[in-house]
Structure 1
C-alpha cells in the first residue's frame, strides 16, 4: 500500500496542529501506512497525549523527526509504530513549565497567598514531570532517576545520542542523490560555492552534512568571497494571512530569515488572542445550545451525534398532532412536545 504523508511543522495547539488536525488526516489515510514528518518545539501537553493515542490506534505510523524537536512532540511520537530521525536532527527533553505571573505590591497576607499558589503550581509541575518521565522510562527501559537527570539538564541531544538513549529507533543518514541538482540550486540561491562531490572511501562518508561542511569551508578558501554575495534579500509575499493582519505587502527575507518589530509581534499576538477568544465563545455557544437540545428529551440526549439528535427531534415533532379531541384519559386532548418526547423506556408508570 502507498505510504500517506502528514506534516506537523510547528507547535501543538488547540486550534492549529491539534488532535483534530491529526485525526482528520489519519482518517484520510485509512489503513495505508502513515509517515508523520515532525519538526516542532512541542506545545500543549493534553493535545500531545491525545495525538499519541491516535497514532497508537492507527497502528502503522512512522514518526520522522526533522530539524529541531523538543518537549511534547518527543514523547507524542511514542504512539507510533516506529520513530526515525535524520542525522542533523536535535532532540530535547526537559522539565515542564507552568505559567506564573505576579506583579504589584503585596502585604503579608497577600504574599502568603502567593506562596500557597506557587506551591500549588510547583506540585502541578512535579506531577507533569512524573507523568512525562514515566513515558520516557516505559519506552526506553531507562530508570526514572536517569530520565529525571536528563530532563533536568535540558540538554539538546543529537540524533545518534537520542538513539543511544532509546528515544529513536533509527537514524537516517543525509545521503544525497548525485543526480539531483536540488542542493546545488539551494547553494547557488544562497550565494554559496557549489556543494562539492565527495568520493566515498573508508575514511569519509558521503553524507549531506559532510558535503555542506566542505562547501562552507570553501567560502573561507576563496579570497574573492564577500558578504554581499552571501546575503540574498528577497520579498516574500506568500504569508497572506499574516500580511493582512500587519497590513503589509510582504516580508523581506534575508539569509532565509524574517525580522519582525516588537510592534508587529504585538499585533500578531493580539490577533491570535482575539481568534482564540472567538473560538472559545463559539464553543461555549455551541455547548449551551447542545445542552438545551439535550434537555428536550432523553431520546434526544442519548442520540449518537448531532445528526441523530436532529432526526430524533424530527420524529418527535411528527408525532405531535395539530389537535386531538378527548383522549382516553379524559384530558383536553392537547398534546405538547414534552408529552411525546418522553423516553418510553423510562415511563414505568404506564406499564
Structure 2
C-alpha cells in the first residue's frame, strides 16, 4: 500500500485549511487515516517529498510508522528535509532517488518575551535537537555528537552521502552500483576517515600474506629496498582501489 508524504508537515487542526485550498500537506491524522486502510499488516510504501514543518507532527508520524506491525519501505522521491527527514527514518528499508536530497538541521521557532523567556526557548530547542538526533542515531549508528554537528551546519545529503552515512540503504535505479562509487566515501567533520573505512582497509590487508598496515614483513635486502617499497605501494594501492577509498 502506498502512502504519500507531500507538502509541509502540519498539525491535525490545520489539515482542513490545506484541503480546502487543495494544497498538498501531511498531518498525523491524514497518515493514520491511510494506514487504517491497510489489511493484514500489508507492506507500506512511503513516498516522501516534503520540506518539513512541525517537528511534533513529524515525531507522531515517525512513531506511528515505527510502531506498525508490517514492513515499512520508505522512498525519498524528492526531498526529505527537516521534520520529513525524521519521518524518513521510520523505514525498515530506506531508498532514495538519485536526484533526491535529505536535509537535517536544528529545530527553530519564533518567540517573544524577556531574556528569561528567550533563554527558556533556547533550552527547549536544544532538547528538541537531541530528540530529533535520536531518530538519526537509531538509523545510522553515528554518535550524538556527530549528528548534532551535522544538524548545526544544516547539512544537505546527496544520495551518495546519505548512503555513506547510512541514512539510506540504497539509491533507487542504481542496479549496477554506478553511483555507489569512490565518491561515496566522505571524511567526517574532523577530517578523519570513518572507522568502518579504516576497519575495511585493515581487514583487506590482513588477507595479503606477510603484509600488515601496508608494509611487508619479509626481510628486505638493502640492495632491493626500492623494489620492495614499490611492491608494498602496489599492494596498498590495490587494497585502496578494491575498497574504493581513493
State the TM-score, normalized to the length of structure 1.
Answer: 0.44
Aligned counterpart, 1:7:
4
* Partners of 1:143 and 1:93 in 2: CA distance: 15
* Partners of 1:130 and 1:33 in 2: CA distance: 30
* Partners of 1:75 and 1:144 in 2: CA distance: 15
* Partners of 2:49 and 2:168 in 1: CA distance: 14
Aligned counterpart, 2:48:
38
State the TM-score, normalized to the length of structure 2.
Answer: 0.62
RMSD across aligned C-alpha pairs, in angstroms? 2.0
Higher relative contact order at CA 8 Å, sep ≥6: structure 1 or structure 2? 2
Cα offset, 1:138, TM superposition: 2.4
Cα offset, 1:71, TM superposition: 0.7
How big is each residue's C-alpha offset from its partner over 1:187-219, in whole Å with a ceiling of 9 and x where there is no partner? xxxxxxxxxxxxx9xxx89xxxxxxxxxxxxxx
* Partners of 1:68 and 1:50 in 2: CA distance: 19
Residues 105 and 152 of structure 2 are in contact (CA less than 8 Å); yes or no, is this contact kept in structure 1?
yes
User: What number of residue pairs does the alignment pair up?
Assistant: 164
Partner residue of 2:97 out of 81, 86, 93? 86
Partner residue of 1:18 out of 3, 8, 27? 27
Partner residue of 2:76 out of 65, 70, 77? 65
* Partners of 1:169 and 1:140 in 2: CA distance: 10
Stretches of structure 1 that go unaligned for 5 or more consecutive residues are 102-112, 176-199, 206-351
Residues 8 and 36 of structure 1 are in contact (CA less than 8 Å); yes or no, is this contact kept in structure 2?
yes
* Partners of 1:39 and 1:163 in 2: CA distance: 18
Aligned counterpart, 1:164:
164
* Partners of 1:17 and 1:65 in 2: CA distance: 15
Residues 19 and 47 of structure 1 are in contact (CA less than 8 Å); yes or no, is this contact kept in structure 2?
yes
Aligned counterpart, 2:88:
77
Question: Where has structure 1 moved over 6 Å in runs of 4 or more?
Answer: none
How big is each residue's C-alpha offset from its partner over 1:139-190, in whole Å with a ceiling of 9 and x where there is no partner? 2111111111111111211011011111111111378xxxxxxxxxxxxxxx
How big is each residue's C-alpha offset from its partner over 1:110-154, in whole Å with a ceiling of 9 and x where there is no partner? xxx611111011111111111112221222111111111111111
* Partners of 1:147 and 1:18 in 2: CA distance: 26
* Partners of 1:41 and 1:174 in 2: CA distance: 25
Residues 61 and 80 of structure 1 are in contact (CA less than 8 Å); yes or no, is this contact kept in structure 2?
yes
How big is each residue's C-alpha offset from its partner over 1:52-80, in whole Å with a ceiling of 9 and x where there is no partner? 12212223111110122211111222222
More helix, by proportion: 1
Stretches of structure 2 that go unaligned for 5 or more consecutive residues are 16-24, 180-246
Aligned counterpart, 1:126:
126
* Partners of 2:28 and 2:64 in 1: CA distance: 8
Residues 3 and 45 of structure 2 are in contact (CA less than 8 Å); yes or no, is this contact kept in structure 1?
yes
* Partners of 1:155 and 1:47 in 2: CA distance: 22
How big is each residue's C-alpha offset from its partner over 1:204-245, in whole Å with a ceiling of 9 and x where there is no partner? 89xxxxxxxxxxxxxxxxxxxxxxxxxxxxxxxxxxxxxxxx
Cα offset, 1:45, TM superposition: 1.4
